[in-house]
Structure 1
Amino acid sequence: MRSNYLFTSESVSEGHPDKVSDQISDAIVDLFLSKDPEARIACETLTTTQLVVLAGEIRGRGIMDESGNWAPGVREEVEATVRETVKRIGYEQDGFHWETLRFENNLHPQSAHIAQGVDASGNKDEGAGDQGIMFGFACDETPDLMPATLYYSHKILERMAADRHSGAAPFLEPDTKSQVTLRFENGKPAAATAIVVSTQHGKGYDEGDKEAELHAYVKSVVADVLPADLLGDETVYHINPTGSFEIGGPDGDAGLTGRKIIVDTYGGAAPHGGGAFSGKDPTKVDRSAAYITRYLAKNIVAAGLATRCTIQLAYAIGVSKPLSLYVDTHGTGTVGDDAIEAAIGRIEKLGNLTPRGIRTHLGLNKPIYAKTAAYGHFGRKAEGDHFPWERTDLADDLKAALA
């Protein structure tokens, strides 16, 4: 590992067109899981000027039958959920308005060939919903054990969105992006060298006193979010560097579910297996295995077994047990990585890391996903049923398994 370097991560707000799509897809996941905890859902969303399109495959009691017939009232609930999601984000613009946008629902029944591989039957345990590799990561750069560059990028946008919703910053519109570059010394954040914020704004906030007000506001948010010792003379700000940003969101650029997977995970500080999360029920290991690998990596760091940890799991469609488990503590481990791998295998409550074992341990068959679809799936507070993969309740089990 290098000790001294610059590293950058970006985030995008809830109003970014791709994130609008992610939030709609996950709102549909929550709607269907609230009706049937064993529902199968793969919901993709396209957003563009005054249009939202849903496509994908679903199956579940009280939702849709095998012939594609909707249960009474559910089709209407789907459209209402879409419009309410757009409204909550804050889009009431001529080019994208929750009430007047056109809506297309192209969801259809799940393939029977996929179902036969995934469902449990006879002596066969439930299999993974697809093949793939999933990565989890944790490090000690922030209190939530996340990469600092991504953590602060998210926090800037969360604060700006809160101010927009509360009316404290009425000149802000929903579509915003941030980027944070930190200089690391001896592997630790030492200084912020560049802060980039591009935010959609009201008319007139691209020149004169109003532009100055916007710039001053952004700098005040950064000062509140980042530790004071990271900001100084070497910090360069790029605030709306292209100038005007009045046309944004799906009106300015089409959005698709699953295009912000690096924003969703670790900001480029760790590998990504390639699969998106939003729009998928937890039988899809793209989602559930990514959550359990984060859970394992975070607990390894929280237990003091390492200061940095990457974990990989691999699955085959229709096969219940993972094909491989890989642990890398990047030379920071207090015990061998192979010993940690063996310890994980000895913890019975993890259910051998099968899809059902993961869902049971983390309690994933619940409508808990809409909150994940903006500002990252990781580094969030575990509250009630939400973000259970952020708990550090496995630390003692890991220590015991290594004893």
Structure 2
Amino acid sequence: MSRRYLFTSESVSEGHPDKVADQISDAVLDAILERDPNPARARVACETLVKTGAVIVAGEITTDAWVDLDELVRGVICDIGYTSSDVGFDGSTCAVMSLIGKQSSDIAQGVDREAPEKQGAGDQGLMFGYATNETEVLMPAPILYAHRLVQRQSEMRKERILPWLRPDAKSQITFRYEDGRIVGIDAVVLSTQHDPDIEYNHLREAVMENIIMPVLPKEWLDTCPADNIHINPTGKFVIGGPVGDCGLTGRKIIVDTYGGMARHGGGAFSGKDPSKVDRSAAYAGRYVAKNIVAAGLADRCEIQVSYAIGVAEPTSILVET
């Protein structure tokens, strides 16, 4: 008997408030790693909160680099597309507040080492890496195509092909599986922020033709019932971004990994330097899993590693195929 099931993953656009926060935190990290004369010794744990007219950047940073935080934050927000109060948020005029201190010396004494291979983990925790051969990039199809939908939404907006689009958007796709293999798509959800004067039927048709159909493979999309394709299902999405919802760094950890197809240790990625194993060990786990699948040794592979703070070697390693 075949095993049939549905599996769903979601993604969010660069203009989603949580992703705005992630991008600001990562921009701070990137600037420090680029400008610090000894980037291997830089320590960054940067968190961001965005809400109507305001950005708060907080955390612990130890570096010899100088970063103009105000200019950096405003640049990220404007690059995303929040450049006017008409769209609900303006990177040029919003308030930017910094609440940044140095990394605790108690942590530093267990992490910093002269030899890189002796560097201790910045915290305890467990991390996962995963790969599957169901797509060419060895990622699960639900999260891959959910990402591609919001990436396409951003392209259509920035290239002015659909000029009434605004930065905030979310996608969600349900795939139909039989015996572990994809046989079709069962549902598609795409919610995109838009200008107030766009008529709903025109929006729905344009999104279908310019975003959904070019992204999703025809042989799968054709299996999806028309009633299961939900485009802005509330009928209106004008208020979005940090005005519509408070954004925080690290609140989209499943979007950032495998869409729920693999397990997650709970730690976020954004704003963390490589001493934070939440990020670096998860990346290493993905690298190992991907090579195992790419070599044809398994159809799917999940790696778990765990660490103790201040200890260089993992406390455990698990490989499941």
Query: What TM-score comes out, normalization by structure 2 length?
Result: 0.94
Give the corresponding residue for 1:29: 29
Q: Counterpart of 2:83? A: 92
Percent of counterpart pairs with the same letter?
Answer: 55
SS of alignment partner, residue 5 of structure 1 = strand
Match of 2:61 in 1: 58
Instruction: Tell me whether 1:287 sits opposite 2:279 in the alignment.
Output: yes
C-alpha spacing 1:53/1:294, structure 2 compared with 1 (3 Å): same
For each residue in 1:67-95, what CA deviation from the matched residue of structure 2 results, as whole angstroms up to 9, or x when unmatched?
A: xxxxxxx3xx1111100000000002323
1:104 maps to 97
**Corresponding position: 1:79 with 2:70:** yes
- 1:122, distance to aligned residue in structure 2 (A): 8.9
**What is the rounded CA distance, in whole Å, between the counterparts of 1:139 and 1:122 in structure 2?**
35
Contact 1:119 1:126 in 2 (8 A): yes
Specify the alignment match of 1:383 in structure 2.
Answer: none
1:227 to 213, 217, 231: 217
* Per-residue deviation, 1:124: 9.4
Aligned residues of 1:135 and 1:294 also touching (Cα < 8 A): yes
* Distance (whole Å) between structure 2 residues aligned to residue 162 and residue 314 of structure 1: 38
**Structure 1 residue aligned with 2:150, among 147, 154, 157?**
157
Q: Distance in 2 between matches of 1:7 and 1:20?
A: 27
* In 1, Cα distance between equivalents of 2:103 and 2:116: 23
Offset of 1:233 from its aligned partner? 5.3
Report the alpha carbon displacement of residue 62 of structure 1 after superposing the two structures with TM.
3.1
Q: How far apart, in 2, do the equivalents of 1:270 and 1:234 lie?
A: 25
Write the letter of the residue equivalent to 1:93. Answer: S
Distance 2:142 2:103 in 1: 39
Query: Counterparts of 1:169 and 1:218 in 2: how far apart (Å)?
Result: 9
Q: In the alignment, is the contact (CA less than 8 A) between 2:185 and 2:223 conserved in 1? A: no
2:305 match: 313
Equivalent pair of 1:21/1:257 in contact (CA under 8 Å) = yes
Instruction: Output the CA distance in 1 between the equivalents of 2:185 and 2:263.
Output: 23
- Measured in 1, the distance between the counterparts of 2:65 and 2:215 equals 45
> SS where residue 204 of structure 1 aligns?
coil
Kept in 1: contact 2:82–2:89 (CA 8 A): yes
**Deviation string, structure 1 residues 143-200 (Cα, Å, up to 9, x no partner):** 1011101111000110110110111110100000000001112211111110001110
SS in 1 for 2:255: helix
Which residue, out of 37, 40, 43, partners 2:43?
40
Note the alpha carbon deviations across 1:181-226, whole angstroms, 9 max, x for none: 0111221111111000111000122xxxx21221112212211111
CA deviation vs aligned residue, 1:299-328 (integer Å, no higher than 9, x gap): 000000000000001000000001111000
**1:315–1:211 Cα change, 3 Å:** same
> Aligned-pair distance for 1:121?
5.4
Q: What pairs up with 1:129-148 in 2 under 5 angstroms?
A: 129-148=122-141
In the superposition, relative to structure 1, how do residues 316 and 171 fare at CA in structure 2: closer, same or farther (>3 Å)?
same
Once residues 9 and 190 of structure 2 are traced to their aligned partners in structure 1, the CA distance between those partners, rounded to angstroms, is: 12
Would the aligned equivalents of 1:204 and 1:211 in 2 still touch at CA under 8 Å?
A: no
CA–CA distance in structure 1, aligned partners of residues 287 and 295 of structure 2: 12
Structure 2 gap ranges (5+): none
Choose which of 241, 255, 267 in structure 2 pairs with 1:275: 267
What is the Cα-based RMSD across aligned positions, in Å?
A: 1.5
1:233–1:284 CA distance, 2 compared to 1 (3 A): closer
Equivalent-residue separation in structure 2 for 1:214 and 1:238 (angstroms): 12
Residue number in structure 1 paired with 2:17: 17
**Map of 1:371 onto structure 2:** none
Greater relative contact order: 1 or 2 (C-alpha under 8 angstroms, separation 6 or more)?
Answer: 2
Q: Distance in 2 between matches of 1:240 and 1:151?
A: 21
Q: Distance in 2 between matches of 1:182 and 1:202?
A: 31
Comparing 102-111 with 10-19, greater Cα deviation is found at: 102-111
Aligned 8 A contact 1:44 1:257 in 2: yes
CA distance in 2, matches of 1:284, 1:103: 26
Task: Give unpaired runs (5+ residues) of structure 1.
Answer: 64-73, 330-403
SS in 2 for 1:261: coil
